Each structure stands twice: as structure tokens, then as C-alpha cells.
Amino acid sequence: MQKMAFPGRHALHEPSHSHIPSSYAPLLDPATTSAFEAPDRQCRRRRSSVVALPLMAVLLVVALFSVVALVTNGNKPNPMVSTPPESQQPENMIPSRRGETEGVSLKSFRPLLGAPKYSWTKKLLAWQKTGFHFQPKKNWMNDPNGPVFYKGWYHFFYQYNPYGAVWGNIAWGHAVSRDLIHWRHLPMAMVPDDWYDINGVWTGSATILEDGRLVMLYTGSTNESVQVQNLAYPADPLDPLLVDWVKYPGNPVLVPPPGIGSKDFRDPTTAWLTPQGKWRFIIGSKLNKTGISLVYDTKDFKTYELLNGLLHSVPGTGMWECVDIFPVSKIVENGLDTGENGPGVKHVVKTSLDDDRNDYYALGTYDGETGKWIPDDPINDVGIGLRYDYGIFYASKTFYDQEKKRRVLWGWIKETDSENADIQKGWASVQAIPRTILFDKKTGTNILQWPVEEVERLRMSKKVFDKVEAKPGSIVPLHVGFATSQLDIVAEFEVDKVALESINDTDHTTYSCPTSHGAAQRGALGPFGLLVHTDNHQTEQTPVYFYISKDTEGNFKTFFCADHSRSSEAIDVDKAIYGSTVPVLEGEKLSMRILVDHSIIESFAQGGRTCITSRIYPMRAVYENAGIFLFNNATDATITASLHIWQMSSAYAHS
Ligand code: DQQ
């Protein structure tokens, strides 16, 4: 690894080009590369990021917990009410606020102070590990980085702590795959061993140049925790596995421009070629409370020009992490390379909001001349409207797969249990199954996300259920005849037409998934759906469901929700209810697809218009005690469901 002499402190505040000598060897010249240090000799410098929190009043916590109430309506049986959890020993927990002092969003889940702590057995923790989602063998992982298809291999890099199951010491893990599902783990690609990334080799993106060479731009957190952008490239571009990486000796190539906070400048996107022959990319930041994305042009990835104005900004949204911009076609069924534009194209802009740790997107028009993007619907602008996923899904990033002509989305599923449990199990976080993204031509207002087709190769035995009827207030066991910890479920639901027509004004203005009482709250036309990872007595259950409301004019609104409030009897885990509305067009049946993989449940409604990722921690509904049920907790409508349920095999990661 080539190293650069430590520059004076002032260098960080000078224009980027002023400290990048022009005499550096040309980019990607093999002569400039050197052997990569073995990973175990790197990352030696570690730091503690532990910041203690002031204690909060235990009483407040107890009060907050008691808010999770089971509500029943009417006289009909409510099958969703279960026995309360076994008593658990209260214990104050003060998890560290990992990430925030370093200038990134909170990286640890924070159970409410005073929440009783559950002691997990090895067997229960082992059950949580997924069978076909991407995970490193051990330790902490967060954002997806630099996904790319190169010389026959899909490459996946990720934020990784080689030393433990908490955020810190961030390096780039690396794995390769032929099909985005079966992964082979490789040595770490980059570690924090230079002054300009000693506090973390943070998130970045890959760009394939016109001649096929690859460059990586990433954020480094410097020795003074200043966020700068750095350049890296493969040591041997002929190596399809891209095992060794070289950091550009002239790093950092970009420092925060005047007016931008030193901890508010991170996560460069993939660059695309402008009609003027320059490479362009964006970086997220904020100005006071306004989330912004800066636009840079470069010809050689060594010197950069900051464009006047911004790609886009939205007041009140705070720091924009992991921004992304990409085209989707209004006409064809395939994905588009990042630089494509024209009359048949819309552009998605996405941000990961530091303030609420959710990924938001909006559709709009990108003007290549001005470098500006205008949303189709300012009411649903980036950060205040649509989300990729209404569950646990953050810091996502897309890439264009030139092999299959598709745009693929990666997203990080964080833990929502206590940090103690993560340390006990020795790993933290999973990546969502990569999703193809298409513009939804039918609605014209959203994208469609769908698990990449390769995941279907893991399907094994199948059980079909045809037109199973569920009366109001009923639960129907679905005996599949195989283990239910790894499933691919495709289900369609028909709602009793008489009920649909006769019911008037039901919860139209008041219902929302997160603020309702989950699957236990009964309405005339919902909830109904599936209970995943549910034991025979439904003590633990994760309902994934639709809920239909109707106004006085006869307009329907359909919600798609996932209720974690009874997913686990453990109390020191997330218990929220997730979801949002889902567009359902005239004549469409309600449909959902659910990928179940141990502690991860990814749910897609109406072909991927609304998605919810669940991270759950059952302690009863595991192994042979977990089953799947159809439920209908509506008070009036009968539901008829048809399902295809496959058992899924594992995608073993090769070492
Ligand atoms: N994660 C990285 C940052 C990014 C954040 C640090 C988002 O580059 O902003 O691990 O989770």
C-alpha cells in the first residue's frame, strides 16, 4: 500500500486541487500499484467510540412500554390477542451511541432504558442467522458499498468492523458472486490505515470507465474526523476477483467545500458521463436543517469542479447520507445505465435521512445541462414522501448490472435488539436480498422493487393452497409439510365483494400502520394476511397484512403493514408496527410476496409498490415450533386466499 506523507492540518481547508500534485502517476497505471497488506496486519489503530448517555427515568420507560395495548372491537372473536410475555428481570441498559460523535447516524439500536433484558441461549441466537441473505461470517456490517459487475463477477463491498459486532474500525469487507445469491468471502478490500481514512473507510461507489477500468470513490474520516473523499482502484485490473486495492497516493481528492460542515460531507455516488465528456457524481450534505446534494464534475478523478447550485435540496430533512440518483425507463422493461436520459426517462433521487434513519426516494426529471433535478410531486419530495421500504432498511445503494441490463438495489438491515445480544451472538446486521428496480408504468407515481430473479433458484418443495376461505375473526393454519424458517411465499387475496360494497366510511382518515394497534386492531375490511414465525398458540407471531379503509364517497385506501409487537416475548427488542399505503388499481387483486429467512422477513405488496423489511427475534416461534397461518381479523369481510409456498434452500457462502 502506498502511503502519503501526513499533510499539515491546513491542507484540509484548501481547495482540493491545491494539494494534489500534477506529477502523480496516471490513474490506474499498474506501475503505481503495490501489494496489499494482509488484512490481519491492517486496521491496527482502533478507537473507542463509547459515549455514555445520561440516565433516563425508568418510570417514563415503563409508561412507554405500556402504550403497546391490544385493542379489540365488536363481539366477534379477536384471534390476535395473545398471552402476555413471561416476566423478565428488569435491568438498566445504557447502550453506547455509536456513530453519532463521529458524524454519522446512530449505529446501535437503543432499547428503552430500564427495559428488562432477555438472556438469549446459543440455540436461539444460532436460529437468527440467515440461510440465503448476505452476511459476513462474523462481526459488524453496515452500508452496502461499491456494488458492481466486473469481468463475470458481482462484487459486493460493505462497511465492516473486523474486530467485533458493534460499529467502529470501519473497513471495507468484500465478497464476490456469480448470481448475487451465492457469495464467496474475500479479504478486506480497504482498511483504515492512512491519515485521510484512519477513522473509517466509509461509504463509496464504483464507476466503470469507458475503457472498462474501475475506480472507487469513498468517504474517509480523517485523523481529525473530517469527512473527505478518496480514490481507490484495483491493483490488478485483470484480476476478475479484484482482491487487491490501491488507495490513490494523492488522497484526499476532495475536502468539504466552504460553508459545508467538516462532518457533513459523505458518500459519493457512482459517476456518469455527461454529454460534455465529464464524469459527474453527487455527495450528500446539509445546510442547517436543509438536506442537500452537491454535484461534482471531473475528467480524471483527481481534480474536481463543484457545480454552481445543488442537484436538489429539501428543507427540514437534515443530513442526507448515501444519496443516489439513477434513471428509470417509462418505456422499456429493463434498467438503465446511470448516465442515460431522454424523453422516455425519469430519474429517481434517493436519500438516507440521518435524522430518522429511513431511505426516501422521489421520481422526477434530471436536467443534464444545469445539473438539477425537479420532483414530479413536490408534496412527496425526497425525504418527505415515499420510502424504499417501510421497515428496517437503510443506507441503500443501486448499481447498473450491465450483464442483465437491470438496476439492482442493495440495502442494509440493521439489528433492532440490544447491543449485548449482538456481542453475544458475534455478528450484527444482514443485507436485504438485492432487488431489481423498475418504474411502475401502471401508476406512474412509484417504483417497483422485486427480489432478483436468481433467488427463485433456491426454491425447493412447494405447497399450493387454492382459495382458502377465512371468515371474519379466524385463523387458518397452513400445513406446508416442511420447515418454515426459509420460505418464499406468493399470496393473492380476494375480499368479499358484498362487504366491500356495503361498508361505508371505515377509518379513512385515521388509520396508519405505525400508529394503529397492529393486527389486533379490527376494522370492517381488515386486517387480513399471514402470520409468519408463529407458534401453535400464536403467543409469538409476526403478522404481515393488508388493511382496507373506505371513505363516504366509496374511495378505498389500502395499507400494507408488518406488526412486530408480538414477534418476540423478549422485551429488549424493537416492537414497532411498520408499513404504509399501497396503490391498488381497478381490477387488481391484492397480492403479497414474502421472503422468510430466519430472523429476516422481506415483504412486497402489489408487485413491489410498497415493501417492508422485518428484523425479528422470536424465542418461542423458532425451529420446529414455527408455523405459518392465514388470518382474517376483519369484523365484516370474508377473505379468500390462494398461496404458493416454497421451502428455500440455503445459499452457502464459500470461504
Ligand atoms: N455509514 C457510513 C457513512 C454513511 C453511514 C459510515 C450511513 O459513510 O453516511 O459507516 O449508515
Per-residue 3-state assignment (H helix, E strand, C coil) for 396-417? EEEEEECCCCEEEEEEEECCCC
Which of 453, 431, 433 lies closest to 334, judged by CA? Answer: 453
Strand (E) or helix (H) holding 420: helix 419-425
What b/e readout covers 617-626, taking b as 16+ CB neighbours within 10 angstroms?
bbbbbbeebb
Tell me how far the alpha carbon of residue 350 lies from the centroid of ligand 1, in angstroms. Answer: 15
386 lines ligand 1 (CB under 6 A): no
Q: Of 29, 40, 143, 211, which one is the catalytic site residue?
A: 143
Q: Which residue has the cell 463521529?
A: 102
Number of helices (H), then strands (E), belonging to the chain: the values are: 4, 35
Is residue 86 very low, low, confident or very high in pLDDT (cuts 50, 70, 90)? very low
Q: Is the per-residue pLDDT at 624 higher than 60?
A: yes
Mean pLDDT to the nearest integer, 151-178: 97
Assess whether the C-beta atom of 203 lies below 6 angstroms from ligand 1: yes
Q: How confident is the model at residue 102 (pLDDT cuts 50, 70, 90)?
A: confident
Least confident of 85-94, 344-353, 558-567, 578-587: 85-94
Neighbour tally for 20: CB within 10 Å = 19
Predicted confidence band at 84 (pLDDT cuts at 50, 70, 90)?
very low
Q: Is 541 in the pocket of ligand 1 (CB under 6 A)?
A: no
Following DSSP, what letter does each residue of 27-60 receive, concatenated? TT-GGG--PPPPGGGS---------PPPP--HHH
Give the C-alpha distances (Å, rounded to integers) separating 598 from 158, 348, 446, 458.
22, 32, 29, 15
Domain ranges of the chain: 141-453, 460-648
Determine if residue 19 is left, alpha or beta; phi over 0 gives left, psi from -120 to 50 gives alpha, anything else beta: alpha
Q: In angstroms, what is the span from residue 202 Cα to ligand 1's centroid?
A: 6
pTM of the predicted model as reported, rounded to 2 decimal places: 0.87
pLDDT tens track for 476-495 = 999 999 999 999 999 999 99
Q: Please give the CATH architecture assigned to the domain spanning 460-648.
A: Sandwich (2.60)
Selection from 277, 276, 263 nearest residue 222 by Cα: 263
pLDDT attached to residue 653: 52
Buried (b) or exposed (e) across 392-412, using 16+ Cβ within 10 A? bbbbbbbbbbeeeebbbbbbb
Q: Judge whether 222 and 198 are in contact, CB under 8 Å.
A: yes
Structure confidence by residue, pLDDT tens digits, 19-70: 322 222 233 333 333 322 333 333 333 333 333 333 334 334 333 333 333 2
How much of the chain, in percent, has pLDDT values that exceed 70?
84
Q: Which residue has the higher pLDDT, 524 or 27?
A: 524
What is the distance in A from the centroid of ligand 1 to the CA of 264?
11
Percent of the chain at pLDDT exceeding 90: 79
The Cα–Cα gap between 160 and 164 comes to 9
Cα separations (Å) of 15 from 20, 162, 294, 610?
Answer: 10, 34, 15, 43
Q: How confident is the model at residue 10 (pLDDT cuts 50, 70, 90)?
A: very low
CA 276 to centroid of ligand 1, rounded, Å: 31
Assigned superfamily of 141-453: Glycosyl hydrolase domain; family 43 (2.115.10.20)
Output the CA angle 359-365-368, nearest 5 degrees: 110
pLDDT tens track for 213-236: 999 999 999 999 999 999 999 999
Our answer to whether residue 389 is catalytic in this structure is: no
* pLDDT digit string, tens, across residues 189-219: 999 999 999 999 999 999 999 999 999 999 9
Residue 588 backbone dihedrals phi, psi, to 5 degrees: -80, 140
Query: 619, 569 in Cβ contact below 8 A?
Result: yes
Q: Candidates 198, 216, 267: which one to mutate for ligand 1, based on the most atoms within 8 Å of Cβ?
A: 267
Report whether residue 353 contacts ligand 1, using a CB cutoff of 6 Å.
Answer: no
Q: Which pLDDT belongs to residue 467?
A: 98
Please report which confidence band the pLDDT of residue 552 belongs to, taking 50, 70 and 90 as the band edges.
confident
Say if ligand 1 is within 6 A of residue 266 CB: yes
Average pLDDT over residues 372-379: 98
Report residue 236 CA to chain centroid gap.
31
Q: Are strands 627-632 and 474-477 parallel, antiparallel or unpaired?
A: antiparallel
The CA–CA distances, whole Å, from 510 to 183, 442, 515, 555 equal 45, 27, 9, 15
The mean per-residue pLDDT over the stretch 367-372 comes to 92
Contact of 490 with 641, CB cutoff 8 Å? no
Instruction: Compute the half-sphere exposure of residue 160: CA atoms within 13 Å on the CB side of its CA.
Output: 27
When pLDDT is averaged across residues 76-89 and rounded to a whole number, the result is: 43
Q: What is the predicted pLDDT for the residue at 68? A: 32
Write down the pLDDT at residue 112. 66
- Give residue for cell 455509536: 98
